[in-house]
Amino acid sequence: IAHFLNLSSILTQIITLFRHFAINACLAPLYSLEGMHIITVEGIGNCRRGLHPVQERLAEAHGSQCGFCTPGFVMSMYALLRSSKQPPTKEQIEDSLAGNLCRCTGYRPIIDAFGVFAKTDDSLYTASPSESANGKAICPSTGKPCLCRNETDVNGNESSLLSSVKTYLPSSYNEIDGNAYNEKELIFPPELQLRKIMPLRLNGFNGVRWYRPLKLDQLLQLKSCYPEAKLIIGNSEVGVETEFKNAQYGVMISVTHVPELHTLKVEEDGLRIGSAVRLAQLQDFLKKVIAERGSLQTSSCQAILRQLKWFAGTQIRNVASVGGNICTASPISDLNPLWMSTGATFQIIDVNNNVRTTVAKDFFLGYRKVDLKDDEVLLSVILPWTRPFEYVKEFKQAHRRQDDIALVNAGMRVHITEAEGNWIVSDVSIVYGGVAAVPLTAGKTESFLVGKKLDYGLLDEAFNLLKEDIPLAENAPGGMVEFRSSLTLSFFFKFFLYVTHEMNTKGLSEGLDVANMSAIQSYTRPVTTGTQGYELVRQGTAVGQPMVHLSAMLQLPNFPLGSLVSSSQKMCPVLTILGQLDSSKKRILGQLSMMGRFLHLMSLLVLARSLESLWQTPMIMQKLLQIK
Ligand SMILES: Cc1cc2nc3c(=O)[nH]c(=O)nc-3n(C[C@H](O)[C@H](O)[C@H](O)COP(=O)(O)OP(=O)(O)OC[C@H]3O[C@@H](n4cnc5c(N)ncnc54)[C@H](O)[C@@H]3O)c2cc1C
Ligand code: FES
């Protein structure tokens, strides 16, 4: 996790607020972390110094098997705890883990492990199951008959059926702390606090240059010197391009410290959102604005906030920016259809300080192509307030809810006004993503709807027009054409139901059929619950016992165990390790992933050494080191 000064404090050097963010190390260029305190899983605790309470819980609750995902889960949870003033809720815990994937455990033990840090309802973990009339145990969590109860066998031995519920004792972050953990929590290093933030100019391999301006005019100057320079904010797109698509950029300009691009302002005509604003920051800001302004003016804000919930995971939202998403112009961007349908405008500045404004609808020109010249930079987005009787709704369908890209997404807005005693559509905008190279506007459907009363009678015609507006050829990229076509229609149907319901609550339209009510509610994932029942087979050995496996203690701090290194020739000695990395990775600009690879090689040596000292088997050493 990156632990750094709140941006305002970086800029003013006055406020000393610190925040902890979990981020993906593999997408964090080393240079982008200059001035920050980086906390890794090795730093918070290990089996020699004592495990951190978060690590300890994961091991105790059997939340680690192969250990591949374990450091990520630990750090996500650690970041949440360090940045929460109160114990987090279960929802917050699950949300913070949405960007972590595990192939082995099935998630229940992981979520259960961290459940003890939540503020909600310890009784779920501690209360004994009660008994129903027929003598069956009632689970305190679900209220249904279950196998939670410990039973005594005929010989009086404890329990043949155990449930994971039994294993949770009431505990809090502080109570667990101190068990084996004797370290103090890491603080933001004083020397970093005193450090003056400077503009950066760094040289990498192959003449690659990295700039970090601190002011807008410095950025514009750099852009005029290097029109083709790549701007970088969160690197969640550029990092993927350089790592997996062989993209190479000679000059990179990190704009994370340019204050003008971080504007977040409530203005008369709407919100001004700087292009470098992180998505997590935008979420917080939107929540505040919605709470302050109420629902009337904030229908667009609410739609964007709901869409952000399903945008990647916390680690990506902590770094990814509004401008990075817009300028990438990905066909499956979750936000671009919303900017278009809400009538947002983009402010663009050129190297001569001229600012122009364009509507979002005109900005996307082709596949990953936008209306932005080499000497221009996206400055900010203006999101207009919604008017009375103006409704905005977001849609996204993916293979799974969280941390997945959309199969189809959409943004829809309608404004209903009264004309001669009828409530009719005066303005409507329907935009789909994931169906073409750019987000598509359903122009014919929009024209058909304007001036009409929104009722069931016009649905058939609207559906026919939608099929014409959003055609999906049989061989359309992404496949699943029939399914995706039906999604475009069902999104519109849901929007129709939503608006009808909203108007109905004001007594201005007919009521909804009860059967359709579920379609208007935004999806909310309930907190996960689950128990594991298993039979204890006592054989006098560890077999059959729910024991914490020993390597869990090593996996939690990501203790290096070993790594396979392939070679094109057999029997090659290791000549140099660092030198070898240097030559093969020259094109990479100080990526953290490089550090990871270095650690893998180092771990091989550690393994080799420990094998040698443990078993004195030079043969194994020889074999392990036969790499070039
Ligand atoms: C694991 C993962 C999950 C993801 N999930 C989703 C998802 O659910 N939905 C979704 O829509 N996207 C998703 N993305 C894509 C990505 O996170 C977003 O597009 C993100 O918003 C990009 O922002 P960034 O700051 O990281 O961009 P960067 O990678 O830093 O930059 C992206 C591009 O924008 C340009 N750029 C940035 N700022 C400006 C500016 N001010 N002016 C001009 N050009 C600029 C850069 O030069 C670059 O070409 C995901 C990515 C990953 C890796
Ligand atoms: S991937 Fe999660 S323990 Fe193996």
Q: Is the pLDDT of residue 464 over 80?
A: yes
Residue ranges around ligand 1 (CB below 6 Å): 230-238, 240, 261, 275, 311-312, 316, 319-321, 323-325, 327-328, 330, 333-334, 372, 377-378, 405
Mean pLDDT of the chain: 81
478 pLDDT higher than 90: no
pLDDT digits (tens, 9 = 90+) for 39-94: 999 889 887 778 888 998 998 888 999 899 999 999 999 999 998 888 899 999 99
| Paired sense of beta strands 355-359 and 230-232, if any | unpaired
User: Would the CB of 68 count as within 6 Å of ligand 2?
Assistant: yes
- Ligand 1 atom 13, closest CA: 312
Residue 407 pLDDT > 90, yes or no? yes
User: How many CB atoms within 10 Å of residue 132?
Assistant: 11
43: CA distance to ligand 1 center in Å?
29
Do residues 100 and 26 lie in contact, with contact meaning Cβ atoms separated by under 8 Å? no
- Atom of ligand 1 at shortest range from CA of 398: 8
Among 103-107, 134-138, 266-270, 447-451, the minimum mean pLDDT is found in: 134-138
Distances (CA, A) of 558 to 46, 90, 157: 9, 26, 38
- Percent of residues in the chain assigned helix, strand, coil, to nearest 5: 40, 20, 45
Please say if the pLDDT value at position 38 is more than 60: yes
Q: How far apart are CA 461 and CA 319, in angstroms?
A: 43
Q: Is 64 in the pocket of ligand 2 (CB under 6 A)?
A: yes
Atom of ligand 1 nearest to the CA of 239: 29
Degrees to nearest 5, angle at CA 373 with 368 and 374: 100
The DSSP annotation for 423-455 comes to EEEEEEEEEEESSSSSPEE-HHHHHHHTTS--S
- Segment 572-584 shows an average pLDDT of 54
Of 47-61, 97-111, 224-238, 385-399, the one with minimum mean pLDDT is: 47-61
How many angstroms is it from 144 CA to the middle of ligand 2? Answer: 31
Given a contact cutoff of 8 angstroms between Cβ atoms, the answer to whether 340 and 307 are in contact is: no
For residues 188-205, average pLDDT: 90
SS3 575: coil
Ligand 1: residue of 23, 253, 325 to mutate (most ligand atoms within 8 A of CB) is 325
pTM for the full predicted model: 0.81
What structural domains and CATH numbers belong to the chain?
Answer: 40-116 (1.10.150.120), 197-254 (3.30.43.10), 259-516 (3.30.465.10)
Residue of 41, 58, 62, 70 with the most ligand 2 atoms within 8 Å of its CB, for mutation: 70
Residue 551 in contact with ligand 2 by CB distance below 6 A: no
Task: State phi, psi for 509 to the nearest 5 degrees.
Answer: -155, 170
How far, in Å, is the centroid of ligand 1 from the Cα of 582?
A: 28
Mean pLDDT of the region 374-386: 98
HSE value, Cβ hemisphere, 13 Å, CA-based, for 160: 5
Q: Two tokens at 521?
A: 């509610």
Is pLDDT at 559 greater than 60 in this prediction? no
Highest mean pLDDT range out of 57-61, 115-119, 258-262? 258-262
Taking Cα atoms as reference points, which of 39, 524, 110, 76 lies closest to residue 318?
A: 76
Pocket-testing residue among 62, 104, 548, 561, ligand 2, by greatest number of atoms within 8 A of Cβ: 104
Of 26-30, 183-187, 201-205, 617-621, minimum mean pLDDT range: 617-621
Can you tell me which atom of ligand 1 is nearest the CA of 231?
47
Looking at the chain, the whole-number percentage of residues with pLDDT higher than 70 is: 77
Burial of 268 (0-12, 13-18, 19+ CB in 10 A): exposed
pLDDT in tens, 209-258: 999 999 999 999 999 999 999 999 999 999 999 989 999 999 999 999 99
Query: What is the Å distance from ligand 1's center to 33 Cα?
Result: 18
Between the CA of 320 and the centroid of ligand 1 the distance, in Å, is: 6
Q: Which range, of 32-36, 222-226, 315-319, averages the lowest pLDDT?
A: 32-36
- Which among 128, 110, 111, 126 is positioned nearest to 171, based on CA atoms? 126
- Ligand 2 atom having least distance to the Cα of 66: 4
